Amino acid sequence: MKIIKISSQGQITLPKTIRNNLKSKQFIIETNGTNILLKPISINVINEADDLTNFGQLATKSFDYWDNPSDDIYQYFYNE
């Protein structure tokens, strides 16, 4: 059992011995009354390289919505 303090910014520091045992840098925090529970989690990005490679294609696809002439009410005003 360790006693820790909360900083003026609301931060706490986990003692090094506890951090070394956790082997995680990401946590879920749960509260139950006055109890606080930190649960270590692991977040893995799947196919990160593919997502970045196809980002341009996704952006181009999103413009399909704007390229619909039947929805272009401003063109009516520009033509007059």
CB neighbour list of residue 37: distance below 8 Å, 6 or more residues apart: 29, 30, 31
Query: Does this model's pTM top 0.75?
Result: no
Phi, psi of 38 (to 5 degrees): -105, 125
Please determine, for residue 38, whether its predicted confidence score (pLDDT) is greater than 80: yes
Looking at residue 25, what is its pLDDT? Answer: 82
Looking at residue 11, what is its pLDDT? Answer: 92
Asked whether 65 and 56 are in contact (CB, 8 A), the reply is no
| Residues 26-37 pLDDT 10s | 889 999 999 999
pLDDT band at 42 (very low <50, low <70, confident <90, very high): confident
Looking at residue 34, what is its pLDDT? Answer: 94
Nearest CA among 21, 49, 26 for reference residue 38 = 26
